[in-house]
Amino acid sequence: MKIQRVNRGRNHWYVDLDTGQKVDGVTTTTGNGLPKPALLNWAGDATAEYAVDHWDDLAKLPTSERLKKIKGGRYEKRDAAANKGSEIHTLAEKLVAGERVTVPDHLTGYVQACVRFLDDFDVRPLHVEAVVYSETQRHVGTLDLIADVLLPDEARYEHIPRRDDGYARGLVDWKTGKSGIFGDVALQLSPYRFSEYLIGADGEPVDMPNVDFCAGVHLRPDGVYDFVPLECGEDQYRDFLYVKEVARIVGSLRDLVGEPIVAPTASTYVLAKADETEEVPF
């Protein structure tokens, strides 16, 4: 198995060069295999909010066009949030590398939060935006950051191994959504943690480095961040593999349905109106 990430604009996918086949990324796999009931409420709320926010403009449109706009309103909101998240990830990647960045006004708070996190924990990056994969379980993804961080000397963090200098090696994921860090992030990071290989800066795979813990960093527009540890052990990895199987089943359901069976002989029936003058026997 030899993995290559293919980038096209804002999109990307993964290809196994040995077979030429696409391999679903971890994010796609969890999206297809993990039920997310909260999305139902989000879809309804986002549609209603779009209709209210664009009420006057919608009233000027023909009814069919108005309906089309309202139905698509939630996707505009989703895509705007996704684009914002991508921009912040790109800026964070450059900041971690020690580069200077020019920040759009609407992203200033997020960047300030990222800088504060990097400074507060004296983050020392090892791998940034690295592709990782498992040859045995056939999953692949791109992690945000593996870094050594200086953790506080508090009893609640004593379970996290660290060196004598106080640093621990963490697998860290940036999150920018309004709602913070959800438990499904653990199912995203656990397959990264238990991958077998990491593609280095030279494009060659190396053994996946061990990490002491996993965490999400929630960057907020007010310049504040939350550094949230996550349970990403063997149990969570096993759960991800279950989700991966559900995603496989969901993706193959159409293949279970065949073509309609046509009878080997067929008769033709014609419905004709009876002659009103003809006597009908009873």
- What letter does residue 210 receive in the DSSP assignment? P
Residue 261 inside a domain? The answer is no
pTM: 0.81
Residue 264 inside a domain? The answer is no
Give the model's confidence band at 180: pLDDT under 50 very low, under 70 low, under 90 confident, else very high. confident
* Domain of residue 31, residue span: 3-256
Residue 134 inside a domain? The answer is yes
Q: Is 112 helix (H, G, I), strand (E, B) or coil?
A: helix
Q: Is 7 helix (H, G, I), strand (E, B) or coil?
A: strand
Residue 281 inside a domain? The answer is no
Tally of structural domains, the chain? 1
Q: Model confidence over 62-77: pLDDT tens digits?
A: 888 888 888 887 777 6
The full 3-state SS of 73-98, as one line of letters, equals HHHHHHHHHHHHHHHHHHHHHHHHCC
Residue 265 inside a domain? The answer is no
Q: Model confidence over 101-141: pLDDT tens digits?
A: 888 888 999 999 999 999 999 999 999 999 999 999 999 99
CATH of the domain at 95: 3.90.320
CA–CA gap between residue 119 and residue 223 (Å, rounded): 13
Give the model's confidence band at 277: pLDDT under 50 very low, under 70 low, under 90 confident, else very high. low
Residue 269 inside a domain? The answer is no
Residue 206 inside a domain? The answer is yes
